[in-house]
Amino acid sequence: MPPAAREREKAQKLLAQKSAIATPKGGSKRATPAQTPTRIPATPKAGTPIPRQAPVIDQRELDLSALNLVSNEPAKVDEVVPKEAFAKEKLLEEVRSTLAVQEKDKKALSIVVIGHVDAGKSTLMGRLLYELGRMDERTKTANERNSSKAGKSSFSWAWGLDGTTEERERGITMDIAQQAFSTPHRAITVLDAPGHKEFIPNMISGAAQADCAILVVDAAPNEFEAGFERGGQSREHLILARSLGIAQIIIAVNKLDQVGWDSARYEEICGLLRPFLVQSGYHPSKTKFVPVGAMQGVNLAVREGEDGKMLSTWYSGPTLVDLLDALDAPTRDIASPMRIPISNIFKGQGSGTYVTGRLLSGVVQVGERVRILPGDETGVVKVIEVEDESVPWAAAGTNLTLSLVSVDPIQLNIGSILCPPTNVVPLAVSFTARIIIFNIQVPIITGAVVELFHHSQDVPASISKLIATLDRSSGKVLKTNPRVLAKSTSAEVQITLRPPNNSTVARPIALEPYAVNKAMGRILIRREGETIAAGVVMTILG
């Protein structure tokens, strides 16, 4: 019998022994807006003792608030070389004052566009780029001409985002495409995620780099339902995005032209999604719905033309751009040490190797030496590019491209973490985590074979120990050493990395406890192509 089938059989047997499972009491706690964002003290000047304080947990993050993460453990702040600390302090002053001016005018944020395959995500983004003046007439005409030549004229807007030959031939997004545009009060980086189930790891990588999400759903008969049923990507993407910390979401109900701009269909879709969104941890005040027609550009920036008129007979609310313009900007954690998970690597035209990623915390500047983890290698930042412009420094929350020199490119891998050599991220092959188990059909038992996702990295792992089941409301231990974890349980577990196929030794990955750095402490667990749990890192065991 194959190991997965054996594991499934064993789990089901154990589950049948009902006494082994402590069922959590009470429903999950709903999100409440946080008043106090986590703040780790700024790096002080040399000689000043570093104040230590317990991290404050952002209760907006409902998915994880159910894990009851408030901890009295002090945040770990590594010692820094005094000279460097001084330079950093000066830089931080400059960063703060520059950001204060920039953000007065336009606040910056990143959005990931998610949803079931063919919902119209790339079309929506391509058309939006055009409406907002970020795609010129020449590019538009070229995309129309070339997509028509290839017999794919309905994808002409999507070609603005789907740039590779394979993506264009197959008519699907495979990797994350990044673009930028501005609304009157927001400077937005947009990450177009693939909708196909096969490319979920890329979708996870995109969502881990974003502050907010747009879920695009297809209003055509049966199409919305296909994305929303069990195994549908609208459903899975919503859960994944929330588990990765995304709390604000816009639901773009697309292709309403296919149903003659029927208000009843729009209301039906909103009505089906609302309870699921709440159940998945999205606060209703952070969830907005908007009817759109991506292909015709209806209700993106304006509501004009015949289709616009039909929509206006029953809808007078905001356009998509109005909603984007009102999104809350994230808090930038610039005072914590620099952390950049690498999401892509390429050879550019200039010298050096180019890496892309999101600066999760801290500040990075040109000329700075960075450590690449795992491994012993360092490199020097030669160029920082943000939205195709070269900048001297970038602050937390920025999606950037770095050119690294003085580094052997072989040492750079997707999923590696860049950090300061003086403040490195711990490496782990084993750690404890608090997790929430999704609506799984096969329960989890000790030794369960899984895939662990951390930013752009996925590695083989196992749930090596079931430490305790937890009450989802209070976080209190319900049962220690449970024999099985059933669906919707909250639990503390030990996760141990397994050796990859071609090796006998597990390779460590760089991650941090959630209490030290939230963005570095989130994990997702998948099994046989299904996401089975999400959680946060508690303790690195080694």
Q: How far is the CB of 162 from ligand GTP (least distance, A)?
A: 7
User: Toward ligand GTP, which CB reaches closer, 68 or 122?
Assistant: 122
C-alpha 392/C-alpha 405 separation (Å) is 16
Q: CB-wise, 218 or 492, nearer to ligand GTP?
A: 218
Which span (35-43, 154-162, 245-253, 348-356) binds ligand GTP, by CB under 6 A? Answer: 154-162
Indicate the residue among 255 and 288 with the shorter CB distance to ligand GTP: 255
**DSSP three-state, residue 34:** coil
Alpha-carbon dihedral sign for residues 303, 304, 306, 309: positive
Taking the complex as a whole, the smallest distance from the CB of residue 212 to ligand GTP amounts, in Å, to: 18
Residues whose CB is less than 8 angstroms from the CB of residue 181 and which lie 6 or more positions away in sequence, other chains included:
128, 129, 132, 134, 188, 190
- Of the candidates 476, 512, 494, the one whose C-alpha atom is nearest the C-alpha of residue 435 is 494
Nearest C-alpha neighbor of 396 from the set 19, 37, 153 = 37
- Work out which of 258, 344, 365, 488 binds ligand GTP, going by CB under 6 A: 258
- Cβ proximity to ligand GTP: between 266 and 393 the closer is 266
Nearest approach, Cβ of 263 to ligand GTP (angstroms)?
Answer: 16
The reply on whether position 254 binds ligand GTP by CB under 6 A is yes
Site track for ligand GTP across 3-22, x = CB under 6 A: --------------------
236 vs 257, beta carbon nearer ligand GTP = 257
Is the distance from CB of 444 to CB of 463 less than 8 angstroms?
yes
> Residue 172, interface with ligand GTP (CB under 6 A)?
yes
Half-sphere exposure in the Cβ direction for 492 (13 Å, CA): 18
- Least distance between ligand GTP and beta carbon 533 (Å): 25
Judged by beta carbon, residue 214 or residue 448, the one nearer ligand GTP is: 214
Q: Which region, judged by CB under 6 A, interacts with ligand GTP, from 239-247, 291-299, 402-410, 514-522?
A: 291-299
Residue 484 pairs with which residues in a beta bridge? 445
Smallest CA-to-CA distance from 459 within 373, 523, 378, 514 is with 523
Q: Measured from the CB atom, is 219 or 437 closer to ligand GTP?
A: 219
Three-state DSSP state, 240? helix
Q: Does 295 bind ligand GTP (CB under 6 A)?
A: yes
Q: How far apart are CA 491 and CA 489, in angstroms?
A: 6
Write out the two tokens for 36: 């106090």
196 touching ligand GTP, by CB under 6 A: yes
């296909």: which residue's tokens?
A: 226
Q: How many chain residues touch ligand GTP (CB under 6 A)?
A: 23
Which span sits near ligand GTP by CB under 6 A: 10-18, 249-257, 307-315, 318-326? 249-257
Instruction: State yes or no: residue 158 binds ligand GTP (CB under 6 A).
Output: yes
For position 175 contacting ligand GTP by CB under 6 A, the verdict is: no
300, two tokens: 């993106």
Angle (CA) 221 246 467, round 5°: 110
Least distance (Å) from ligand GTP to the CB of residue 453? 20
> 3-state DSSP call for residue 258?
helix
Q: Which residues pair with 251 in a beta bridge?
A: 215, 289
Neighbours of 33 (CB within 10 A): 12
Considering only residues 496 through 515, tell me which ones interact with ligand GTP, judged by CB under 6 A: none
Q: Which CB, 158 or 493, lies closer to ligand GTP?
A: 158
Please choose, out of 178-186, 193-201, 259-267, 381-389, the segment that lies near ligand GTP by the rule CB under 6 A: 193-201
**Is 257 one of the binding residues for ligand GTP (CB under 6 A)?**
yes
Residue burial 492-522, b: 16+ Cβ < 10 Å; e: rest: bbbbbbbeeeeeeebebbbbbbbbbbbbbbb
Cβ 281 to ligand GTP shortest distance, Å: 24
Burial of 84: CB neighbours in 10 Å, binned 0-12, 13-18, 19+ = middle
Burial degree of 488 (CB within 10 A; 0-12, 13-18, 19+)? middle
Q: How many CA atoms lie within 13 A of 45 on its CB side?
A: 2
* Residues 103 to 142 in contact with ligand GTP, rule: CB under 6 A: 115, 117-123
Q: How far is CA 429 from CA 433, 460, 496, in A?
A: 13, 11, 6
Which tokens belong to 105? 């005018």
In one letter, which amino acid is 99?
L
Q: Which residues lie below 8 Å from residue 18, measured CB to CB, with a gap of 6+?
A: none
Contacting ligand GTP (CB under 6 A), which of 28, 147, 173, 280? Answer: 173
Q: CA 207, CA 243: separation in Å to the nearest integer?
A: 10
Q: Is 154 in the site for ligand GTP (CB under 6 A)?
A: yes
Minimum distance, C-beta of residue 222 to ligand GTP, in the bound complex (Å): 14
Is residue 293 involved in binding ligand GTP (CB under 6 A)?
A: yes
Task: Decide if residue 200 touches ligand GTP (CB under 6 A).
Answer: no
* 255 part of the interface to ligand GTP, by CB under 6 A: yes
> Can you tell me which residue has the tokens 């010298």?
351
Binding mask 410-449 for ligand GTP (x = CB under 6 A): ----------------------------------------
Residue among 114 and 246 whose Cβ is closer to ligand GTP: 114
Length in residues, the chain: 542
Cβ distance to ligand GTP smaller for residue 123 or 353: 123
Shortest distance, position 167 Cβ to ligand GTP, whole Å: 8
Nearer to ligand GTP, 31 or 112 (CB): 112
* Positions in the binding site for ligand GTP (CB under 6 A): 115, 117-123, 154-155, 158, 172-173, 194-196, 254-255, 257-258, 293-295
